[in-house]
Amino acid sequence: MVVSYLSEDEDAADTVSWIEQAGQLALSISGDLTVPEHCRDIVRQTVARFGRVDILVSNAAYQMTRDSLDEIPDEEWDHTLATNLSAFFHLSKAAVPHIPAGGSIITTSSIQGDAPSPKLMPYAMTKAGLASMTASLAQMLGESGIRVNAVAPGPIWTPLIPSTMPPEKVEAFGTDTPLGRPGQPAEVAPAYVLLASDDASYMSGAVIAVTGGKPIL
């Protein structure tokens, strides 16, 4: 298993430790996914170590809450697109030649792609784009036996929330869902496990909602 990360060395080392405790081989690779060449290098290192790519999970994301269009810096717009959308393109393009039939590509969309919040416009736009890319790639790669799906989380409690939202939004985060609370990362993980497994052998082009009851139509 390969763990790609930006600069969170301690978290990456902890993840690798858990993988190795489970009796599996692990490789961690640090770097910036907004750089296309780094995306390609991740695939090169993976193939050099393991010989192929069975499952690609693209999960990197950036968001920032802004009250108006004027408050969105040009650089932030470009960075959001590069992180959330372009990285998935570059990773997929590099990985597909090394994915055998039966392999799986999974990206992370969001309920924001279907029900965008105005204050998260750049983020929401990229998540809608990922859902569209999922549908396109599923049709493009079906003949090769490669499945492409997306998970669309709703309000999930991660470090991204307090670091990108004002305190009043953080306090109320997730309380507007039918289940009345935000989800935890462990509650999203089973959707990825399903899509990566043979149990999802006839699932491709799907966007799986993990939203606490908020609808994605």
Please give the positions annotated as active site. 123
d(CA 62, CA 164): 9
Residue 184 Cα distances to 116, 126, 145, 188, angstroms = 21, 22, 32, 7
Cross-strand partners of 150: 107, 207
Quote the CA–CA distance of 171 and 153 in Å, as a whole number.
Answer: 19
Which residue is it, tokens 């809608």?
128
Give me the residue label for tokens 């859902």: 131
* Identity of residue 140: M
47 Cα distance to chain centroid? 21
- What torsion, rounded to 10 degrees, do the Cα atoms 185, 52, 61, 35 define? 160
